[in-house]
Amino acid sequence: MPTPPLAARGLLLDMDGTLVNSDAVVERVWRRWAADKGLDADEVLRVAHGRQGHATMAELLPGRPAEVNAAENEAMLAQETSDVEGVVPVPGAHAFMAAIEPLPHALVTSADTALAAARMGAAGVRMPRLRVTAENVSASKPDPEGFLKGAAELGFAPADCVAFEDSGAGIAAALAAGMRVVGVGPRAGDHGPTVHVRDLTGIRVEELPDGAGIRLHFAETATATA
């Protein structure tokens, strides 16, 4: 059965895994960190996707002082920002971003501004004018704060927005904010998004007449999961 389209007023976009594939550098950085701490790297990566670094550290090393996590997070951000080898666009990202350029949309990412600029630039993906980055929130995904701020920036109620996410933490954050979620890529399907697509080639964006909003159409390979 075809997946029904979703109607929205605004779109909120995660970056890593959704618009750009940065898995290569994420794995390099977090595997080094895991080895240094004597932790299982695969378990670390299972937790790390979608979160700010200090939040990952707090979950994996409970009881460690927050200031230690913050300092290591700063060092890790510097490593990630300078290492863009292997950062590429998710299939369909360029066409998708061109289609939504005149429509209300914002980036909601766990990266800070410098890292977001580095990765979007490396992948050649257009940076949205409106952005909610790590500097703009007090809590990392899966907390909904970033998505709620993104909806407020667009001037729409959360229920009128559709979020695009790839990770469990990100999908949980958007759902907690009261949004429908398009899960993008192989990680997303296990976390209960509203619709799951393999990549951004599976989406067609329709601008409704007279400012009535946006309709998202999905390829036959998409699945409605919630």
Which parts of the chain are beta strand (E)? Answer: 6-8, 10-13, 20-21, 88-89, 105-108, 131-132, 161-165, 180-184, 195-197, 203-207, 214-218, 223-224
- DSSP letter, residue 22: -
Distances (CA, A) of 164 to 49, 53, 78, 109, 188: 15, 21, 26, 11, 10
In the set 14, 23, 112, 143, the catalytic residue is 14
Q: Measure the CA–CA gap between 82 and 205, rounded to whole angstroms.
A: 34
- Residue 191, SS3? helix
Spatial CA neighbour of 223 closest among 32, 73, 3: 3
Q: Is there a catalytic annotation at residue 83?
A: no
Distances (CA, A) of 184 to 72, 75, 91, 223: 29, 29, 10, 11
Q: Measure the CA–CA gap between 207 and 16, rounded to whole angstroms.
A: 25
Q: Measure the CA–CA gap between 195 and 212, rounded to whole angstroms.
A: 22
In the set 16, 112, 166, 199, the catalytic residue is 16
Q: Is there a catalytic annotation at residue 36?
A: no
Handedness of CA 105, 107, 113, 119 (dihedral sign): negative
Question: Which token pair is 120?
Answer: 């979007």
Which amino acids are annotated catalytic?
14, 16
